[in-house]
Amino acid sequence: MGQLLLQGLLWAVIFLGSSVPNIESSEYNPFPGITDKKFIDDCVRIHNANRSSVNPPARNMLYMTWDEGLAITARAWARHCDFQHNIYLKEVRRVHPVFSSVGENIWAGYPPSTFSVMRAMDLWVKEVNDYSYQSNACRPGKMCGHYTQVVWATSYKVGCAVQICPNGVDRTSFSDKEGAIFVCNYAEAGNVVEMLPYQNGLEECSSCEGANNQCQAKLCHDPKRDEQKSYRWTPDWDPTLATCGPCCMAILAIRPLALLLTFVAAFGVHRLYPSIFFYE
Ligand SMILES: *[C@@H]1O[C@H](CO)[C@@H](O)[C@H](O)[C@H]1NC(C)=O
């Protein structure tokens, strides 16, 4: 009798210990993720194409490469579906594990099918028509900051993410319709006040800094600086971290306890009935 009871308890504990709550979000997202090769290539290639061909020409424009950390931050912010700058952007270590200054460009549109990296970046880059390099000024009432960030000489890392927003993108004129948001983050940050985005000069790469520089398509490319780095890091404000509700939290708390109980119970049963696990 006691043996049966113990056996029952044992099974109950094992069952509890192995129940796995589904904490993965089942959100539908038709867009490429931040590890998608084509997506990464589109983002990097279009940025560099525009950086190579600035007018007037640049002599210190750095080659831009992908950064996983920036892409992780861009994704976390895009998940908010809110058309405003990341509210943590100025807080060191909350938007990147290494870089202390991070810049940002955002595009939003609807329906989601209107998104492509090219289309979003077109809107940013065409601000050049309202921008004067000579006076480092933007036409009154216009925006030029997206353009100047794209061609900011010292911003040599970029990471972007695109997110579907089934309930609309906040702070847009289409916030009640299914839309999409595209975020790019940059390091070092551009758009430092009173500074020109790059140094003008006819001789491309003539002001590249560092001994390892190679001139690549008029851009300063340093293989060491441009190395790909991997970060096992998530910003603490990523909304997907908060999707575990009270019930899910309870199960998460019970699991290690149940596992411990399993061992204690098995040990106890074995001590009380040494032969229980042997069937002769
Ligand atoms: C700059 O980027 C846009 C994409 O948004 C592209 O259409 C354009 O061709 C690029 N400019 C150059 C010179 O590559």
Per-residue pLDDT in tens (0 to 9) along the chain, 280 residues: 556 665 655 565 455 555 444 444 446 679 999 999 999 999 999 999 999 999 999 999 999 999 999 999 999 999 999 999 999 999 999 999 999 999 999 999 999 999 999 999 999 999 999 999 999 999 999 999 999 999 999 999 999 999 999 999 999 999 999 999 999 999 999 999 999 999 999 999 999 998 899 999 999 999 999 999 999 999 999 999 876 667 777 777 888 888 888 888 878 777 888 776 665 5
Contact 31, 162 (CB under 8 A): yes
Give distance in angstroms: CA of 272 to centre of ligand 1: 76
Q: pTM, whole model, 2 decimals? A: 0.80
The 179-187 sheet, strands edge to edge: 65-66, 157-165, 179-187, 103-109
Give distance in angstroms: CA of 119 to centre of ligand 1: 10
For the CA of 119, the nearest atom of ligand 1: 5
| Pocket mutation for ligand 1, best pick of 43, 53, 64, 121 (most atoms within 8 Å of C-beta) | 121
Residue whose Cα lies nearest atom 3 of ligand 1: it is 122
pLDDT of residue 21: 43
Give distance in angstroms: CA of 174 to centre of ligand 1: 27
266 burial type by CB count under 10 A (0-12 exposed, 13-18 middle, 19+ buried): middle
Give distance in angstroms: CA of 51 to centre of ligand 1: 9
Token digits for 44? 């990097």
159 in the Ramachandran plot: left (φ > 0), alpha (ψ -120 to 50) or beta?
beta
For the CA of 46, the nearest atom of ligand 1: 2
pLDDT of residue 63: 98
Give residues (CB < 6 A) around ligand 1. 46, 49-50, 53, 118, 121-122, 125
For the CA of 49, the nearest atom of ligand 1: 14
Residue whose Cα lies nearest atom 8 of ligand 1: it is 50
